[in-house]
Amino acid sequence: MATRQKTSRKAAGTAAAIRRPRARAANSRAQSAYAGDDIGLDALIGHAGYAVRRFQLWIFQDFVKTLATVDIRPTQYSVMTVIGANPGLSQMAVAKRLGIERARLVHLLDSLEERDFVSRIPSATDRRSHALHLTSRGKTALAQFKRLAAEHERHVAEKIGNENRERLLQILTCFT
Amino acid sequence: MATRQKTSRKAAGTAAAIRRPRARAANSRAQSAYAGDDIGLDALIGHAGYAVRRFQLWIFQDFVKTLATVDIRPTQYSVMTVIGANPGLSQMAVAKRLGIERARLVHLLDSLEERDFVSRIPSATDRRSHALHLTSRGKTALAQFKRLAAEHERHVAEKIGNENRERLLQILTCFT
DNA sequence: AAAAGATTGTTGTTGACGACAACAATTGAT
DNA sequence: ATCAATTGTTGTCGTCAACAACAATCTTTT
């Protein structure tokens, strides 16, 4: 299936011999102008979801880039932060608090445990659950992650302005 | 591999016979209270990315739910909206404008073309590219999608307040 | 105390999505 | 005529949300 076109290209191919060298100027100009930035978004302009999606994409990319040296992704950072602030939490509690599935948390903790940042200690009161703790290595690591995350947050402030950043945080407190 | 625990559970199993019926009250109460909502987020509170992630998740879920009857997802809606507002655009132009990869757009257009909402018309000026258009069925469908999307937007306004919603849109215009 | 129901961690699958890398066809520039 | 760039396409990889099932364990009911 290395063919490129389903329908039109083949048909066009047969007529290719007849093609004349058209008005290139109109093509290259109109095309690149259109590909530039005069394309209307219509109803998308009024949708918060679209703006938020683009923003979140930008934020995640900057976060990943800023913490690339320590190889920590946003979700991993959020898990370690919550465990650090609330030692002994169960996986269920962490998942609920962060709005991630407990199935997903399993793999996240697996990776964090492999790197010796987090340890699952069998709960003393419930043999089903684990008490989550940062290792000593995890604690010092998290301190560095927080410094880098603060740097990332400064990037956000530079991008949208710090007063807008704070306003945004305030608007969205009901989701955190 | 139906075993449940890697390490701790097995070891705990041997000592299971000795266990006493501990203070259940402390367990069930403390545990469910913790699982409730007194878990601190620590540094996460100050991170716009975390708030935005939670918000975006909420928005997407509401969008999908509100447009479930027509089976249209946010990305599909954005593609149809842009094509509807700018007929004849190439795939490259749409991808660039919406910040999605052209590789991804291929599948999106495949599904929209299968449902007869969009058609790829061979460009008259560039035999590599397609001119994207809404079909007549796609135009009437998009009109309905826009009504449903407006309803979704009202849900957002109810959730965070309309003045906050507009403030948010204004803050994030640089990303759209 | 035994049975029934709920919870916790785990495994697996599905699908949307972003990022990359290749590729053929075509275009544009040299 | 040749070579670099563009366009649509295919494929792979990894992240992520959503479900569904399951064993072990706890809780509640009887």
Q: Alpha helices of chain B — where are they, by DSSP H?
A: 8-14, 24-36, 48-66, 74-85, 91-98, 102-114, 136-160, 162-171
Q: Model confidence over B53-84: pLDDT tens digits?
A: 999 999 999 999 999 999 999 999 999 999 99
β-bridge partners, B134 = B118
Average pLDDT of the segment spanning B146-157: 96
The token pair at B75 is 């990305």
Average pLDDT over residues B92-120: 96
Q: Taking CB atoms and an 8 Å limit, are A42 and B130 in contact across chains? A: no
Mean pLDDT of the residues in chain A: 82
pLDDT of B174 > 50? The answer is: yes
Gap between the Cα atoms of B100 and B94, Å rounded? 8
| pLDDT tens string A20-62 | 333 333 333 333 334 356 888 788 999 999 999 999 999 999 9
Instruction: Categorize the per-residue pLDDT at A8 as very low, low, confident or very high, splitting at 50, 70 and 90.
Output: very low
| CA–CA distance, B86 with B96 (Å, rounded to integer) | 14
Position A37 scores a pLDDT of 60
A1 pLDDT exceeds 60? no
Distance CA B7, CA B28 (A): 25
Structural domains of chain A ordered from first start: 44-175 (1.10.10.10)
Nearest neighbour of A54 by CB, restricted to B89, B122, B176: B176
Residue B172 phi, psi (nearest 5)? -100, 10
A52/chain B closest Cα distance in angstroms? 6
Residue A138 has a pLDDT of: 96
Best-predicted range by mean pLDDT (A167-176, B25-34, B131-140): B131-140
CA–CA gap between residue A80 and residue B63 (Å, rounded): 31
With a 7 Å cutoff on the CB, does B109 touch strand D?
A: yes
Determine the Cα–Cα distance for residues B42 and B48; give it in Å rounded to an integer. Answer: 13
* Alpha carbon distance A85, A113 (integer Å): 17
